[in-house]
Amino acid sequence: KLWVCAVPLVVLLSALANAASIGQDERVRYDNYSVYKVKYANALQRSVLLQLDEESNDFNLWHEASDQVHVMVSPKAKLEFEARMSQMNASAEVLIENVQSLIQDGSDGALRDSSFGWTSYHTLEKIEAWLDEILASYPEIVTGFLVGQSYEGRDIRGIKISYKSGNPGVFIESNIHAREWITSATATWFINELLTSSDAAVRDLAENHDWYIVPVFNVDGFVYSHVKDRMWRKSRSPSAGSTCIGVDLNRNYDSHWMENGGASDNPCAETYAGLSAFSEPETKALSEYISGIKDKVNVLFAFHSYSQVLLSPYGHTDEEFPDNYDDLLQVAKAYADAVNSLQYGTTYRYGSSAEVLYIASGCTNDWAYVKADIEISYTIEFRDTGHHGFLLPPTHIIPNAEETLAGITALLAESRELG
């Protein structure tokens, strides 16, 4: 008899505890959650590791490369996780001991001080207010554009910087993944440099290209990552028949959608591709916007973090390569060399996405290459290689942005050489 009522009591208590830790106004906490780097030996081990992410909230996939995954594990699942890893003979190393310790409460200094800058990460509200200031300060050069509305009805905004007509266009999509805050911080710094730098190379870069920049593309996810869950990746649309929320917008583009296991059909997975290609208002709107200007744009960058790589098409297969793959490699080398020559000495790898990382289908830069004829089309994964991961300290914002500026300058110069 006692047994019978003990079980519901445990269930009730844990339900209460859960409710307390994710209450309405509270942020999700990651006390003693750890991030492990696991080197896997074969495809079977890989699939076991990826399965964990879909299995429960105790596991969350942070990063995947051709020989390893980084996975965040809850404190209560650590022992079981370590046992499972040693059982399958995979080596697991701790990259981050306590995730919560890297999530600084109030990391958004803008909550306290009103000036916009790059010594802290900012909320969407702050970023949009800054965009409005930029629009007001440079009415001759900067125009705003509206990509469309998100699932929750927010505007997805972009700005165009154009010093003269007839320039080749460069498109930048940033923060499609909510938790990758370094991407929008870098995009806004980059905008500021284009408009204010007196460096000759930057002036040349700014004035001889038309820039189309969307600093925060996944607006709903970004807001959610600020107010609720710092580790959120996807959008915020619900799925029928599941309690899990959100689509991986970078798997939702209409380019080899869901081919070759490059995404998941499980709404609870971090790489859920959605019900169909362009099922999401965000990706549909951006693809329509880009299609409308595609004759003017021949370069696209999709900003991501982390792992310090430049990823060209294709993502959906490692058996085929783009016709201009040699050119793509050559311009990426110029980017990587330029970054490496800065005082920080940061190294970037480059190559086709499927080769360098893993098979991923329905991604922005693949769609841009395959469907919008944008010949130079790269996903750029910024700092670092896992010691902070998505929780890159704000002291890295300016160095990372300087690297991006040097890299993009060199890449575009190299592509001009190619003609």
3-state secondary structure of 172: strand
Q: Does 317 bind ligand ARG (CB under 6 A)?
A: no
CB of 362 to ligand ARG, least distance (A): 8
Least Å distance, CB 87 to ligand ARG, is: 27
Question: Could you give the residue ranges of the DSSP H alpha helices within 118-269?
Answer: 124-137, 181-196, 200-207, 219-227
Total site size for ligand ARG, rule CB under 6 A: 10
Q: Which of residues 70 and 126 has its CB atom nearest to ligand ARG in the complex?
A: 70
Q: How far is the CB of 59 from ligand ARG (least distance, A)?
A: 17
For position 379 contacting ligand ARG by CB under 6 A, the verdict is yes
- Give yes or no for residue 74 binding ligand ARG (CB under 6 A): no
Binding ligand ARG (rule: CB under 6 A), the pick from 175, 353, 400, 409 is: 353
Q: Which residue's CB is nearer to ligand ARG, number 315 or number 351?
A: 315
Taking the alpha carbons at both ends of the chain, their separation in whole angstroms is 81
Choosing from 381, 402, 403, 414, the catalytic residue is 381
Which tokens sit at 136? 């007001």
Is the Cβ of residue 74 or residue 353 nearer to ligand ARG in the bound state?
353
Q: Which is nearer to Zn ion, 81 or 181 (CB)?
A: 181
Indicate if 125 belongs to the active site: no
Are 210 and 296 contacting, i.e. CB atoms less than 8 angstroms apart? Answer: yes
Q: Which of 120, 186, 287, 365 binds ligand ARG (CB under 6 A)?
A: 365
Whole-number Å distance between alpha carbons of 68 and 357: 9
- Separation of alpha carbons 223 and 31, rounded Å: 22
The region of 43-51, 216-224, 363-371, 385-393 touching ligand ARG under the rule CB under 6 A is 363-371
Q: How far is the CB of 214 from ligand ARG (least distance, A)?
A: 16
> Which partner from the list Zn ion, ligand ARG, none does 360 bind, CB cut-off 5 to 8 Å by kind?
ligand ARG
Alpha carbons 325 and 293: distance in angstroms, whole number: 24
Is the Cβ of residue 280 or residue 366 nearer to ligand ARG in the bound state? 366
**Shortest distance, position 306 Cβ to Zn ion, whole Å:** 8
Distance CA 376, CA 216 (A): 22
**Which residues, 6 or more positions from 143, have their beta carbon under 8 angstroms from its beta carbon?**
135, 159, 160, 162
Q: Over 22-81, what HEC string results?
A: CCCCCCCCCCCCEEEEEECCCHHHHHHHHHHHHHCCCEEEEEECCCEEEEEECHHHHHHH
CA–CA distances in Å: residue 115 to residues 124, 213, 225, 263, 405: 14, 22, 22, 40, 23
304 binds Zn ion (CB under 5 A): yes
Residue 246's binding partner out of Zn ion, ligand ARG, none, with CB under 5 to 8 Å set by partner kind: none
Conformational region of residue 146, where left means phi above 0, alpha means psi within -120 to 50, and beta covers everything else: beta
Rounded to a whole number of angstroms, the CA Rg of the chain reads 21
Site residues for ligand ARG, 207-266, by CB under 6 A, read 250
Q: Catalog residues that contact Zn ion under the rule CB under 5 A.
A: 177, 304
Q: Catalog residues that contact ligand ARG under the rule CB under 6 A.
A: 250, 304, 311, 315, 353, 360, 363, 365-366, 379
Residues designated catalytic: 381
